[in-house]
Amino acid sequence: MKSTCNIWTAALLVAAAGCSRQGTPGGPGMSDTTKPKPSYGQVEDTFNLSAPMLTPTLQQGAKMDSTVGIVRAKNFSEDVTLNFADVPKGIIIEPASPIIKHGSSDAKVTFKAGDDTVVGDYSMKVIGKPAKGTDAQIIFKLSVAAKDTFKLSAPRTSSIKQGAQQSVAIGIKRDKTFDQEIAVTFVDLPTGVTIEPSAPVIKVGEAETNVTMSAANDAALGDFAIKVTGHPAKGADASKEFTLTVAGK
């Protein structure tokens, strides 16, 4: 029966620690041979770091907040400075050396991924340095995923006569996880040609937006390359060009 109780106790301890990974403890107690070694739990005057059990996912071009925690044994109350090693190229961590204060249970960190950070799973080493005693270590796992993307579509060519109007559809193709509104702008319109609405928006759930081009009676004649750019709330822009021919009346 005692064995069964011990099993249940161990199971409860694992469940309680479900938000952390197991690492290497640190602190003065790790090198002090005079301190008694407990039959279970941490050695006195030591500490362990904790990291998320479930691997967080960070998209290219995005940022994510997380924490590194601390489990203090009896008599350990020092500040612990954290340093990250084996950080993948393109990942920025702020602050670079966060501190878990003596009265705190964790330190908050922000991970930022560049647009060209290589997609994949990474294991970074977190080193906790106390004011005295040995360092503690733990592995912080991070998954980098491809950023949400979209593409614009437009007719290859369109034409309009001076003094006339022409409707043009600007479409969007979204990746399955992309759900942002897109603000659309037009650049390099010929003299005398205007667009309404001047700042169209492709809303979430919409496949396109329609704009009306109007050419003045004296609009410039010829073939013009019109650049259409979609601006998401976050992430990189996407652009598309089409040719507009302005003809005489």
Per-residue pLDDT of the chain (249 residues; tens, 9 = 90+): 444 334 333 333 333 334 456 689 999 988 766 666 665 668 899 999 999 999 999 988 889 999 999 999 999 999 999 999 999 999 999 999 999 999 999 999 999 999 889 999 999 999 999 999 999 999 999 999 887 789 999 999 999 999 999 999 999 999 877 889 999 999 999 999 999 999 999 999 999 999 999 999 999 999 999 999 999 988 778 999 999 999 998
Helix (H) or strand (E) holding 16: helix 2-16
CB contact at 8 A, 101 and 78: no
Which one is the CATH code of 150-247: 3.40.50.720, 2.40.160.10, 3.40.50.1970, 2.60.40.10? 2.60.40.10
Same fold flag, 23-31+44-145 and 150-247: yes
Q: What is the pLDDT of residue 34?
A: 66
Task: State in words which class domain 23-31+44-145 has.
Answer: mainly beta
Sheet holding 165-174, edge to edge: 150-153, 165-174, 208-215, 193-196
What whole-number distance in Å separates Cα of residue 233 and Cα of residue 182? 7
- The pTM of the full predicted model, rounded to 2 decimals, is 0.58
For the chain, the structural domain boundaries read: 23-31+44-145, 150-247
Strands 106-113, 63-72: pairing kind: antiparallel
3-state secondary structure of 101: coil
CB contact at 8 A, 240 and 228: yes
CA-based torsion, 203, 209, 215, 221: positive or negative: positive
Q: What is the pLDDT of residue 38?
A: 63
Q: What is the pLDDT of residue 4?
A: 39
